[in-house]
Structure 1
């Protein structure tokens, strides 16, 4: 029994509830399982509710049902919405005493937690290894303890492996300042999506309304340099025009400007296809990708699955593990001449994501061929809740591709 499990059990003995935050889904499941085995509470009837939440219960469902009958549960994105609802309602009613969760639970849910136990304040971040989480994320998790409508006090407990880490946690999180928030408009996919949306809805009609609108945003306030900001918008506008999603008329460009054009303003209008992209809530880059790919499409299904798996909207993709390299390479070899996009150089930064798109396409292919959820988890490491989210995204992207292809052919 580790310290986290000991404090969790002590919380239950006090007749209180706790949320245990851990770094990964696997850790959430393992921690919940360990606590449930140590807890001697009477068995609850929620077990059957968890199993009946899906048509064919998987190993994950059975694991969760064994935990929840002892009043302990795990909670992460791999669960179905119905299972999450059962756990959250059980926690609010007091039937579930402990939830072991990934940090996604910290955002937006008001749960009656007397204690929040943070097992680790480090997260894995790809090639950078294990890094300390932001102070804002720590505050988000700690803020789940002692919610005003449920408790008069609350306890947020962080666990350190040694005295050095204890001092680091105290300095970084207890005494530290939260990071400044930043505007999402500074992220290129968000900017180009909103710019096209504002043009399509008629809010932006010309350069003047474009500059005026963005000048009032938090992004402009934070950025400070309006001239540089307008340059960014001009470059984004030029890209949308190049892709055929907007039409720009009037105005001037270049170093030499005719006298008649000195006071002219560029008029901006959405094209028919640009307006449809906005209605479909697509990133314009994704739309361009789908349009380019559909011009090469013949009849095979797998290339289409790989096409939608290469979009930003499908991320995070299923990551290729070392033991899966042969499976993915074999699929790439089989479909190489039929793919709708070129394979990047193996040394390019895009190559790992390209291979991940092949694995994700293999998952979709297996689902289409009616493999059950246990098979999908064992083969691709994808859980029932994630399966549903991926299928919903695929359905949306395939519909969008068909709509754009229809307009392109007109």
Structure 2
């Protein structure tokens, strides 16, 4: 139920006025916007109007900055906002930064969070006010109204149990016409129906293989009966179409050698329903890995190609960048085409799939996979988060998500390669997984596997001719301390069984310039 709220129109921005009023009355608010960029700008705009500068908030800002070894411009923007008790929240933040923001919002240290709609889902973060700036979102069809269910999720953040007697959900309308449209659509309208996505082939492929691999289903008839009891069957009641899709999936899994069937070429319809289904060894492993069987088949095809050609890290990076699991992938802009084509020419001999014709519909996706692989390749070449943000417009939090998915896919590749006995490839995959984890060139792997040695410290050690564990063991504590600090040096010596309590007397403490040690 709506009611009038008196708010000073001090500034041209309704969001700014409402946010400042929220702080004035000692309450908290979530401001929902439709893009990451808008979340950051809105938070900065609010912060610039505030003079708050407490020690607690300064410490909070420092924590957000220290999350990365080298803070990005995004980190600096967040720190600026946090000093004023304001924050932005979106998928581009690291998990540690998100935790800092969410925890301190719950404690009351942060008054306003400007966020994308993802915060409305799965995070218990209620506020007195939910300020919804944008009810339209860019889609493949242009600027479109968001679903009513999304509005309800955002609006539902308003009101804090045990703290407030009420909550206020405020939507920004720029004109009277827009106000009427919002009232009609979102306040008086009904939420959309929920539709089952079970018949979507990637989903169905995974579930069918899992059911067979777990021996939960042993015949095609049992498979039909299982899916006939699902929400999809209840909702659409088109069992013939569902059975047809299941048959198509079974045929694919059979062709890919993930299952075996007792099919006879001259079987009757009833006999076909009693057809026995059993997972193969590799089919069981694919089900356990919980990847799309199509992805697994693509990986197997690539591994077969890799067994008799020259490969390197880029080969596997481009392979995983072609899978459904890694999406959304980097998109190649019009101005980037020539640059990506040059990179494609450079790496073409290393690819594990044939390049599609530039006239085929999938060519654009193929180029996007090259760009995505380049992003990963830059990461393992020790380019930092700021470089990736500038070059690929991918933020630290998004990088982490992509790296986690890449590791999962490479682990799946490693497991599949074991079954296929591609031992020489397994070594390269394991090495690549470590490089992705630490973001380093291969030469630093012996160093980064030690605790408290990240890519930056490892590079410092390597440049000073300390290239492996043996070199570090043979280096005195004073030298190590000068390079990476006393605390880290002591930690390393302890890990190597050379525990010392402090730097020997009459030896210089603290770090010195790399110029003193050479490149």
- TM-score tier after normalising by the smaller chain length: over 0.9
Shift of 1:54: 2.3
Please say if 1:288 is aligned against 2:297.
yes
SS in 2 for 1:15: coil
Please say if 1:269 is aligned against 2:278.
yes
**Cα gap change, 1:257 to 1:110, in 2 (>3 Å):** closer
* TM-score (norm: length of structure 1): 0.94
Shift of 1:262: 4.8
Find the partner of 1:4 among 15, 27, 31.
15
Contact between 1:314 and 1:393, CA under 8 Å: does it hold in 2? Answer: yes
SS in 1 for 2:30: strand
**Cα gap change, 1:150 to 1:327, in 2 (>3 Å):** farther
Partner deviation per Cα, 1:271-313 (whole Å, 9 max, x = no partner): 1011000111110011111111121123232122111001111
1:321 match: 333
Find the partner of 1:103 among 111, 117, 120.
117
Shift of 1:328: 1.3
User: Counterparts of 2:271 and 2:227 in 1: how far apart (Å)?
Assistant: 23
Shift of 1:26: 0.7
Find the partner of 1:240 among 253, 258, 262.
253
**Cα gap change, 1:39 to 1:323, in 2 (>3 Å):** farther
Find the partner of 2:205 among 192, 203, 219.
192
Partner deviation per Cα, 1:190-213 (whole Å, 9 max, x = no partner): 111111111111111112321222
User: Counterparts of 1:98 and 1:279 in 2: how far apart (Å)?
Assistant: 43
SS in 2 for 1:315: coil
User: Counterparts of 1:189 and 1:247 in 2: how far apart (Å)?
Assistant: 20
Find the partner of 2:44 among 15, 22, 33.
33
Please say if 1:91 is aligned against 2:105.
yes
1:8-407 → structure 2 map (5 Å cutoff): 8-43=19-54, 44=57, 45-126=59-140, 128-250=141-263, 257=268, 262=271, 265-297=274-306, 298=309, 299-407=311-419
291-300 or 340-349, which deviates more:
340-349
Shift of 1:253: 5.8
SS in 2 for 1:295: helix
Shift of 1:164: 2.4
Shift of 1:138: 0.9
User: Counterparts of 2:272 and 2:210 in 1: how far apart (Å)?
Assistant: 27
Contact between 1:91 and 1:112, CA under 8 Å: does it hold in 2? Answer: no
User: Counterparts of 1:352 and 1:154 in 2: how far apart (Å)?
Assistant: 47
**Cα gap change, 1:263 to 1:343, in 2 (>3 Å):** closer
150-159 or 91-100, which deviates more:
150-159
**Cα gap change, 1:263 to 1:376, in 2 (>3 Å):** closer
Partner deviation per Cα, 1:243-294 (whole Å, 9 max, x = no partner): 11111114x566x739xx7587111100101100011111001111111112
User: Counterparts of 2:223 and 2:268 in 1: how far apart (Å)?
Assistant: 22
SS in 2 for 1:38: coil
- Between 1 and 2, higher relative CO (CA 8 Å, sep ≥ 6) is seen in 1
**Cα gap change, 1:173 to 1:345, in 2 (>3 Å):** farther
2:453 match: none
Contact between 1:23 and 1:122, CA under 8 Å: does it hold in 2? Answer: yes
**Cα gap change, 1:112 to 1:227, in 2 (>3 Å):** closer
* TM-score (norm: length of structure 2): 0.75
Contact between 2:40 and 2:88, CA under 8 Å: does it hold in 1? Answer: yes
Shift of 1:149: 4.2
Contact between 2:15 and 2:131, CA under 8 Å: does it hold in 1? Answer: yes
User: Counterparts of 1:172 and 1:91 in 2: how far apart (Å)?
Assistant: 31
**Cα gap change, 1:198 to 1:325, in 2 (>3 Å):** same
SS in 2 for 1:77: coil
Query: Which consecutive unaligned segments of at least 5 residues does structure 2 have?
Result: 1-10, 423-519
User: Counterparts of 1:15 and 1:150 in 2: how far apart (Å)?
Assistant: 12
Query: Which consecutive unaligned segments of at least 5 residues does structure 1 have?
Result: none
Contact between 1:112 and 1:151, CA under 8 Å: does it hold in 2? Answer: no
**Cα gap change, 1:362 to 1:6, in 2 (>3 Å):** same
**Cα gap change, 1:38 to 1:347, in 2 (>3 Å):** farther
Shift of 1:186: 2.6
CA RMSD of aligned residues (A): 1.9
Contact between 2:16 and 2:45, CA under 8 Å: does it hold in 1? Answer: yes
